[in-house]
Amino acid sequence: MLDFGHRGHHTEIVFDTDKKMGESSCVQCGECSQMCPVGAIVDKKGKGKARPWEVKKVRTTCPYCGVGCQLELHVKGEEIVKVKGVENAEPNKGRLCVKGRYGYDFIYSKDRLTTPLIKEKGQFREASWDEALGLIASKFKAIIEKDGPDAVAGVSCARSINEDSYSMQKLFRSVFKTNNIDHCART
């Protein structure tokens, strides 16, 4: 719970009756920054990246779960600099979880792979998509022919969008004929 603590000129923002943010029940979802009526609470992640008049606002649906929360992307040039929940929009009415509000900047990571890699003799080499997918298909086929469909399994990533997770489970259940599929965000 976010509140004011202490009195007079010692008044400050406190969490859970005077705990530090990291020791409180706060999950750092950013709701307070969106709801702050005077703009005094700002997200560190997007601070200084763009002025309000420099951004184009794009409405979209959050890709992380099946709820369908409505997002307002603040885009400067080709980069998302901030995400807000769309006020008065169903189903979230402006509220967002941590992933919905902050789960976007990994797409700009310089460490993100953009070309398939194949490991040969302990070293990775770049490959075409056709070569990489062909190798994966042949390996899965060989494993399933030798040991049966339950010899393979998959874990979908929480950073992937719903459609990717759905496609992965369809691949494992319909093509590989196994139910050995899970998702790291499953509770």
Does the domain at 46-112 match CATH 1.10.8.60? Answer given as no
Taking the C-alpha atoms of residue 28 and residue 21, their distance in angstroms, rounded to an integer, is 8
Q: pLDDT tens digits for 77-110?
A: 999 999 999 999 999 999 999 889 998 888 888 9
Residue position matching structure tokens 């649906």: 61
Q: Report whether pLDDT(122) > 70.
A: yes
Q: pLDDT exceeding 70 applies to what percent of the chain?
A: 98
pLDDT at residue number 187: 55
Q: Report whether pLDDT(172) > 90.
A: yes
The backbone region for 94, taken as left when phi is positive above 0, alpha when psi lies in -120 to 50, beta otherwise, is left
Higher pLDDT, residue 129 or 6: 129
Q: Report whether pLDDT(160) > 80.
A: no
What is the pLDDT confidence band of residue 120, given thresholds at 50, 70 and 90? very high
DSSP-H helix ranges across the chain: 31-35, 98-102, 129-147, 162-170
Taking the C-alpha atoms of residue 33 and residue 3, their distance in angstroms, rounded to an integer, is 13
Q: pLDDT tens digits for 25-67?
A: 988 888 888 888 888 888 888 888 999 899 999 999 998 877 8
Q: Report whether pLDDT(159) > 80.
A: no
Confirm whether pTM is higher than 0.85: no
* CATH 2.20.25.90 domain range(s) in the chain: 46-112
Mean pLDDT of 1-26: 85
Burial of 116 (0-12, 13-18, 19+ CB in 10 A): middle
